[in-house]
Structure 1
């Protein structure tokens, strides 16, 4: 094994050694459970100090590629967390630590609104007159409808975006069906489709959203549904433009003699994005299901979202849910209503939107300053092109920074272009220093 590593390592620096070993792991030459050479043995073979190899080992450990077991030695780890769905597991890397974790896709806790006022409006008893009572609080429904991007026939409350999308797919797709997804897109969608026995048809996105020409081709496969993220698309941070929304709607209409897919929109970051809300429901109201969730803006632990669309589909979701959780807690609905309407909370969300926008701009400018090609994104995430994904991740790990591997977000593995996802919303300061490290990592190979 030492000879193999020596032959692979192109640079005797800690980053070069770590990058060489990561290539061996990625290529399968080193597998999960393989014991690595000792620090001293590899240092002697490479002609470097043990401290240099130790630094490389630390970098590989920080990205979850290897683990030290004391005197037993260091070993290659499994690629993902076994109990999780595969794409989610690759994204999680729960055994990895970093001084600055920009891989999470979660909001800055300091920018979430204070719940104290909203909690004061919650009933003191978790009571309800009947298990068949209304599923949505009327005040909350009116508030949501007032900002919906089209006029939905029906609206209901569910336990967050993934719960809503999962339940929509369960009523519109069957085993063996096909569903169009963005490429790259959110990994959990791929896991959901796998669980349902549904084939994902990936369609590339560009700076305005899903590409209409490629969607037209995908529609020839007669998909049951199309999943789109209209704002702050995860992972790219791209938001759908009005022009692109019209083009996509026109393409779908032009294929109506061949196929009749349901459009499922995941507006997961709407409250903290700067882009306006454009929905295909404006042109296709009878086949568009729009999901709006509040995890990114108001707190991941609220687990609440709204679904609006044609009555014929929303009613099926509500009916099926009666045989499970029944409804989303009206106590949670009360909290959400207060957060969406009380002046202090509205002000806090507005400030969060401003701060996230400023952070995106500051990091993008720093990246460009240090030689990387980049355009500011919307929301909390951004997408950075790199020469080599694994080399970039290892290079950043050596500096104590963790990012998400871009390959996790693709339905089909690809080699031509490689990326990493960066949760810019978690960067508070040192934009120039972090931008320099990211730009250097983007060039690593």
Structure 2
């Protein structure tokens, strides 16, 4: 399994000398933060960012410091501000950022690495949760020569949500602290689960199916963004399974779309200090349905703007 993980990570430039496993990405991230930090410590988080990660940090008694994102991921100056505020860890997504849909370019990765090297003791947690279906090349912070880092990958987005398994490559200190705490709790990831994941990861037919899934998700994401643009509605997403649409009144848009049979997520659960918006997951949205969704969205926006203005 370790050899398969190294073969998976190495082509993307991730150092693979030290690898480990966990029961999913959130399990690993939660364990690391609880080992590395103490209640009251601050963590730099993407804003908007993945709501379960935001909730996890709060549940651990840690403070969240928002870092603004754009189509290329975390903004370097916003990250520098967070580091100056005294954060002890940074949690980010290199691609398929949820909910904004950003991904690191090579230039953005280099800029972020330069900022992070100013604070070498800060733990950098890179959550590559959608890897095989992200529809974007990986420009990993982990490849930038950082002192304290971990690159996490899970398979739940493309092999099955019940496969609660994650792999991580990391620096030797992070490895020792993670595995030491894990030995005191669950001990190890089930070998039956590991064998299942291994068989799927090394199966040619599965590889072909996952590649087709990535193309399908990209088609659906791009179809929705095109139809929204046709209606004059700006949106964000260049990678992954979600589209972020800025709006003025989240509740009005969510409830309005629900009346047309659409369920989208209010942005409040993903935001710390960023502007309002809604998240649309496109995994099951057929391109033919994107036309109707965009049209209904335009109607609802018009109704909400009139109400908001009044």
Hey, what does 2:44 align to over in structure 1?
180
Aligned to 1:168: 32
Equivalent pair of 1:273/1:378 in contact (CA under 8 Å): yes
Instruction: Name the CA distance, whole Å, in 2 between partners of 1:139 and 1:251.
Output: 32
Residues 1:139 and 1:334: Cα distance change in structure 2 (over 3 Å) = farther
Alignment partner of 1:213 is 2:74:
no
In the TM superposition, residue 346 of structure 1 has moved relative to its aligned partner by 0.3
Separation (CA, whole Å) in 1 of partners of 2:85 and 2:237: 34
C-alpha spacing 1:195/1:387, structure 2 compared with 1 (3 Å): closer
Determine if contact 1:268/1:291 at 8 Å carries over to the other structure: yes
Q: What does the per-residue CA deviation read over 1:383-435, in whole Å, with 9 as the maximum and x for residues that have no partner? A: 011131111011101111111010110124x6xx3200000112023221112
Native 8 Å contact 1:286 1:309 kept in 2: no
Deviation at 1:144, TM superposition (A): 3.3
Residues 11-410 of structure 1 mapped to structure 2, 5 A cutoff: 137-147=1-11, 149-253=13-117, 255-256=118-119, 260-410=121-271
Partner of 2:276: 418
Distance 1:378 1:441, change over 3 A: farther
Deviation at 1:139, TM superposition (A): 4.1
TM-score by length of 2: 0.93
Q: Is the 8 A contact 1:385 1:442 kept in 2?
A: no
Aligned to 1:431: 290
Aligned residues: 303
TM-score normalized by the length of structure 1: 0.65
Flag the 1:138–1:270 CA change in 2: closer, same or farther, 3 A: closer
- Give 5+ residue unaligned stretches, structure 1: 1-136
Separation of aligned partners in 1, 2:132 and 2:260: 33
8 Å CA contact retained: 1:152, 1:310:
no
Change (3 A) 1:219 1:174: same
Residue matched to 1:85: none
* Paired residues of 2:104 and 2:139 also in contact (CA < 8 A): yes
Report the Cα offset of residue 376 of structure 1: 4.5
Q: C-alpha displacement at 1:336, in angstroms?
A: 1.4
Deviation of the 1:161 alpha carbon: 0.9
1:271 and 1:297 in contact (8 A); partners too: yes
1:70 paired residue number: none
Deviation of 1:145 (Å): 4.1
- Aligned with 2:220: secondary structure? helix
Secondary structure, counterpart of 1:306 in structure 2: strand
- Asked if the contact 2:43–2:65 (Cα under 8 Å) also holds between the matched residues in 1, the reply is yes
> What do the CA deviations read for 1:257-297 (whole angstroms, capped 9, x no partner)?
xx621100110001101111111111134311110111111
Describe the superposition over 1:289-318 as per-residue Cα deviations: whole angstroms up to 9, x where unpaired: 110111111111111111110111112111
User: Contact 2:71–2:101 (CA<8 Å) still a contact in 1?
Assistant: no
What is the alpha-carbon root mean square deviation over aligned residues?
Answer: 1.6
Structure 2: which 5+ residue stretches go unaligned? 306-310
Distance 1:268 1:165, change over 3 A: same
